[in-house]
Amino acid sequence: MPVDRATKKAWLIWSTAVIVYIAALFHRTSLGVASLEAGDRFSVGPAALGTFTVLQIGLYALMQIPTGLLVDRFGPRRVLTAAALLMGAGQVMFALAESYPLGLAARAVLGIGDAMTWVSVLRLAAAHFPPRRFTLVMTLSAALGGAGNMVATVPLTLLLDNVGWTVTFLIAGLGTALYAAVVAWRVREVPDGVPQPVVEPVPLRAVGAKVKDAWGEPSTRLGFWLHFTSMSAPAMLGLLWGFPYLVEAQGLSSTSASAVLSMLVLVGMVAGPVLGTVIGARPVWRMPIVGTYLGVAMLCWVVLLGWPGGVLPTPALYVLFAVLAVGNPVSGVAFALVRDYNPLHRVSTATGVANVGGFAAITFTALVVGVVLDVVEPFVAAPNAYRLAFLSVVVVLLVGVWRTVVWWRRARAAVFAAEDRGEAVPVQLRRRRWDVFADA
């Protein structure tokens, strides 16, 4: 149901919805600067601490395809309202929790609510804005989500230091839950005068077939591995292990560590719209940009893990975290590929499949880093302990680069095969000599 132009009401509905996404990013990353306090509050070590993120992000990944079905069935207004209520309830539970199991339950509720936001915002953008504006609105939404990340760095650190754990998270939880009423009041699924689509429940067998078809498309598989590779490292640092690494291994104060960590947010907020504009105008540049980033990211990890003594100069940390931060906007290329090469009736499903990639990688690295730290910290100094733990991130990066290259070549082969059959393709690719080995 594309509309001809964006109205003031469309922007109002979008802005109301995107605030929920901003809140989701805040709640998702709030444990990043509170991880040391969480370890003391619940009397747990690094492995148990990592379980908070593993559970929350694992549930997020598992909820992507069901969320798409929920949005199709009940509409983004109801799903966003439920998301705000769930996130608020989860954060209130986390504020009051004093036992580790209750803390886990709180993060699980929060993770389910978080998982319901992004797809809902994109659905509203698709309904209320013309197709030519959709990419702009999507990149703006992602960039504004960085504001939630930003509040979860230095401001959250200062609030924790001044008013404590319970008050800080109570304020965040109650504010989000109350905002659900604003969402229910202001958000509308479709523009005025457009009939509300009626969607019948989808049989489970049909859902499975739809997911299988999406996974069978080479560009969906490429999007999965691209998202897996580019997003996982900066997200892992921002969600949980960046702050402890900067404080314990690099010897920074809490405020300085939060400032370094904020580079993951600031760079992403600036780079997102710029990258979105570039790839929108020059889609053929998408994969070269991805390849350049992945090569530079590997060099960054060589520096982080190979620096003599393990303690880097603070300016170097700022630069390295800023470079790694570009991985978040780069991961958006995955959704552009999914949109271009899947038929309209399964784009949402394919988007959910690709989105699982990065969060699966985060789940793995967050858990492994915690387990390794638990094992080695009693025997080695903190810088070396973190270097050993972060080897798991490098392994994920290398595996992801390998699979990205494999499916990039296979996706190119599929495009050329379509051209040979006389079919139209979204992006005209130039054949290279090595394309003949794409099926190897």
**C-beta of residue 231 within 8 angstroms of C-beta of residue 361:** yes
The average pLDDT across 156-185 equals: 91
Per-residue pLDDT tens over the stretch 321-341: 999 999 988 988 888 888 778
Of 40-44, 236-240, 356-360, 363-367, the range with the lowest mean pLDDT is: 236-240
Query: What pLDDT score was predicted for residue 440?
Result: 45
Per-residue pLDDT tens over the stretch 408-427: 988 888 888 887 888 777 77
CA distances from 200 to 15, 69, 193, 407 (A): 29, 11, 22, 35
Judge if 6-190 and 210-440 fold alike in CATH terms. Answer: yes
Per-residue pLDDT tens over the stretch 131-167: 667 667 877 888 888 778 777 777 888 888 888 889 9
Query: What pLDDT score was predicted for residue 225?
Result: 96
pLDDT greater than 90 at residue 266: no
Mean pLDDT of the chain: 85
Q: What residues contact 207, with CB distance under 8 A and at least 6 apart?
A: 65, 69
Query: What pLDDT score was predicted for residue 306?
Result: 92
pLDDT greater than 80 at residue 181: yes
Query: What pLDDT score was predicted for residue 131?
Result: 64
3-state secondary structure the chain: CCCCCCCHHHHHHHHHHHHHHHHHHHHHHHHHHHHHHHHHHHCCCHHHHHHHHHHHHHHHHHHHHHHHHHHHHHCHHHHHHHHHHHHHHHHHHHHHCCCHHHHHHHHHHHHHHHHCCHHHHHHHHHHHCCHHHHHHHHHHHHHHHHHHHHHCCHHHHHHHHHHCHHHHHHHHHHHHHHHHHHHHHHCCCCCCCCCCCCCCCCCHHHHHHHHHHHHHCHHHHHHHHHHHHHHHHHHHHHHHHHHHHHHHHCCCCHHHHHHHHCHHHHHHHHHHHHHHHHHHHCHHHHHHHHHHHHHHHHHHHHHHHHCCCCCCCHHHHHHHHHHHHCHHHHCCHHHHHHHHHCCHHHHHHHHHHHHHHHHHHHHHHHHHHHHHHHHHCCCCCHHHHHHHHCHHHHHHHHHHHHHHHHHHHHHHHHHHHHHHCCCCCCCCCCCCHHHHHCCC
Of 57-61, 265-269, 429-433, the range with the lowest mean pLDDT is: 429-433
The average pLDDT across 355-369 equals: 87
195 versus 403: the higher-pLDDT residue is: 403
Per-residue pLDDT tens over the stretch 78-98: 999 999 999 999 999 999 999
pLDDT greater than 60 at residue 199: no
Per-residue pLDDT tens over the stretch 275-287: 877 887 788 888 9
The average pLDDT across 361-383 equals: 87
pLDDT greater than 60 at residue 26: yes
pLDDT greater than 60 at residue 49: yes
Domain ranges across the chain: 6-190, 210-440
Domain 210-440 is classified in which CATH homologous superfamily?
Answer: MFS general substrate transporter like domains (1.20.1250.20)
Per-residue pLDDT tens over the stretch 213-233: 888 889 999 999 999 999 888
Confidence class of residue 439 from pLDDT cuts 50, 70 and 90? very low
Confidence class of residue 342 from pLDDT cuts 50, 70 and 90? confident
> pTM for this structure?
0.80
Q: Is CATH 3.30.470.30 correct for 6-190?
A: no
